[in-house]
Amino acid sequence: MTETDGTDETALRLRLDLGYDGTDFSGWAVQPGRRTVEGELSGALTTILRAGEPVRLTVAGRTDAGVHARGQVAHADVVEAAYLGLVGRAERAPEEAMLARLRGVLPRDLVVHRVCRAPAGFDARFSATSRRYLYRIADESATRDPLRRNDTVALGGVLDVAAMSEASGRLLGLRDFAAFCRRREGATTTRTLLRYEWRRAADHVVEATVIADAFCHSMVRALVGAVIPVGLGREEIDWPSQVQQDGRRVSQVKVMPAHGLSLEEVTYPPDDELAARAIESRARRD
């Protein structure tokens, strides 16, 4: 619990679990004149809670324009009285009342799955222990499904999924991923890649699952782009890990299109470790 500036109103931190179709959003982060997920969600919360100024959000994964999410997590600090006031005369919990109000206000491409009081020490970004992403590619052995055209990238050629999984496995662990990151002054590019696997799904679409403690900008799309030449037989299985070890971005590693990517899940430690985890993450990221 914190207090809002200049007033006496008790603040409350809410955790929001949400999903969105990134197609018509200019990414997560608010940008003037652009339709963004943060902008839409903040606007909805501000309206519902009749807040004096825009409700600010902190998110686990700041997705780029066109990237989707099924398991995004955010937090917002709101005035407790306004939140409790949503219940009205209906006999329901404020969580349910807010969920119903959000569904009434939000556009169809943005869905809040769950609202709850965040446990003490919870920070949607810094308390997270891992992020899981999914990348979908329809190569020539998959039937193109027009219903999935917005979350699946079409690719010429046929991918060797076993070779890709082997190449991906050689990238696991605590490493400097500078070769797959857009460099930012003073920021570390060291991350722990926990899982990176490929499989052919029931509809023959090739899917990558990528899990790390955190990702730097465009890292998942570059990791996918690094392994595709292996799948097409143009590079050896060891090539992506050699690029990683060289530590320099190379033109053969394409940053893959945004629309194939979706943030599927964010994980957090048990409640009593949330605050410690947040302190640790902040220290490491600086």
Q: 60 with 53: CB under 8 angstroms? A: no
Q: Smallest distance from the beta carbon of 248 to a second copy, in angstroms?
A: 35
**Residue 152 or 189: which CB sits closer to a second copy?**
152
Q: Smallest distance from the beta carbon of 10 to a second copy, in angstroms?
A: 32
Q: At 111, phi and psi to the nearest 5? A: -125, 125
| Residue of 9, 140, 145, 271 interacting with a second copy (CB under 8 A) | 145
2 binds a second copy (CB under 8 A): no
Region of 50-58, 87-95, 140-148, 191-199 interacting with a second copy (CB under 8 A): 140-148
* Chain mean position to CA 248: 25
| Backbone torsion region of residue 209, taken as left when φ is above 0, otherwise alpha when ψ lies between -120 and 50, otherwise beta | beta
Q: 219 with 191: CB under 8 angstroms? A: yes
| Residue of 33, 108, 156, 283 interacting with a second copy (CB under 8 A) | 108
64, 123, 139, 151: which one is catalytic? 64
* Chain mean position to CA 138: 22
Q: Is 24 a catalytic residue?
A: no
- Scan for tokens 């009749």, then name that residue: 50
Q: Is 208 helix (H, G, I), strand (E, B) or coil?
A: strand
Distance CA 267, CA 275 (A): 14
Q: How many residues bind a second copy (CB under 8 A)?
A: 19
| Residue of 1, 6, 8, 143 interacting with a second copy (CB under 8 A) | 143
| Residue of 20, 122, 126, 196 interacting with a second copy (CB under 8 A) | 20
The residue ranges that bind a second copy (CB under 8 A) are 19-21, 68, 70, 108-111, 113, 143-147, 149-151, 262
Catalytic positions, written as ranges: 64
